[in-house]
Structure 1
Amino acid sequence: MAASHRVSVFPSPRELGPALARLVAERAAATGSGRFSLGLSGGSLVGILSRDLPAAIAAAGPAAPSRWLVAFCDERLVPPEHPESTAGAYAAQLLPQLPAPGPRVLAPATGLPPAAAAADYAAQLRQAFPGEDVPVFDLLVLGLGPDGHTCSLFPGHPLLQEKEKTVAAITDSPKPPPERITLTLPVLNAARMVVFVATGEGKAAVLKRILEGDEENPLPAARVRPRPGQLRWLLDEPAARELTIPVEKHPVP
Structure 2
Amino acid sequence: MAERKLVVYPGKDLMIQAGARRFVLTLLDLLSERLPDGGQRKRVDVALSGGSAAQPLGLVLADPLADAIDWQRVHFWWSDERFVPADNADRNALEARKLLLDQLVADGKLPESNIHEMAADVRSAEEIASVMADAASDDASVRAAADAVNDTLLEAAARAYEDELTRELGPKPAIDLMILGMGPDGHYASLFPGHDEVLVADRLAVGVNHSPKMPPLRVSLTAPLIARSRHTWFFAAGAGKAESLAHVFAQPNNPAYPSSFAGGVDEFVWFSTEETVTKL
* TM-score after normalising by structure 2: 0.78
> Within 5 A, what are the aligned runs for 1:140-179?
140-179=178-217
Which 5+ residue runs of structure 1 have no aligned equivalent?
Answer: 244-253
Q: Give a deviation string over 1:34-69, Cα, whole Å, max 9, x none.
A: 21110000012333321x22233x325532222100
- SS state of the match for residue 94, structure 1? helix
Aligned partners of 1:8 and 1:158: how far apart in 2? 31
1:217 CA drift (Å): 4.9
1:100 CA drift (Å): 2.7
Q: What is the Cα-based RMSD across aligned positions, in Å?
A: 2.0
- Given candidates 247, 255, 271, the residue that maps to 1:234 is 271
Contact 1:190 / 1:229 at 8 angstroms: preserved in 2?
no
Indicate yes or no: 2:204 matched with 1:204: no
Which 5+ residue runs of structure 2 have no aligned equivalent?
Answer: 33-39, 123-152
1:178 CA drift (Å): 1.1
Most deviating of 151-160 and 61-70:
61-70
- SS state of the match for residue 127, structure 1? helix
Contact 2:86 / 2:121 at 8 angstroms: preserved in 1?
no
Distance 1:12 1:100, change over 3 A: farther
Distance 1:13 1:209, change over 3 A: same
- SS state of the match for residue 169, structure 1? strand
Q: Match for 1:107: what amino acid?
A: E
1:109 CA drift (Å): 1.6
1:22 CA drift (Å): 2.1
1:6 CA drift (Å): 0.8
Q: Give a deviation string over 1:142-180, Cα, whole Å, max 9, x none.
A: 000111000000113111221111010111211111111
Aligned partners of 1:191 and 1:154: how far apart in 2? 20
- Given candidates 98, 105, 118, the residue that maps to 2:158 is 118
Indicate yes or no: 2:92 matched with 1:83: no
* TM-score after normalising by structure 1: 0.86
- Between the aligned residues of both structures, percent identity stands at 30
Partner of 2:141: none
- SS state of the match for residue 193, structure 2? coil
Of structures 1 and 2, the larger Rg is shown by 2
- SS state of the match for residue 68, structure 2? coil
Distance 1:116 1:4, change over 3 A: same
The number of residues matched between the two structures is 237
Aligned partners of 2:182 and 2:157: how far apart in 1? 24
Aligned partners of 1:190 and 1:215: how far apart in 2? 14
1:239 CA drift (Å): 1.2
Aligned partners of 1:140 and 1:215: how far apart in 2? 18
Indicate yes or no: 2:169 matched with 1:129: yes
Q: Displaced runs of 4+ in structure 1, greater than 4 A? A: 213-218
Contact 1:46 / 1:94 at 8 angstroms: preserved in 2?
no
Partner of 1:250: none
Distance 1:47 1:176, change over 3 A: same
Contact 2:223 / 2:261 at 8 angstroms: preserved in 1?
yes
Aligned partners of 2:205 and 2:215: how far apart in 1? 18
Contact 2:198 / 2:223 at 8 angstroms: preserved in 1?
yes
Partner of 1:24: 23
Partner of 2:139: none
Distance 1:217 1:163, change over 3 A: closer
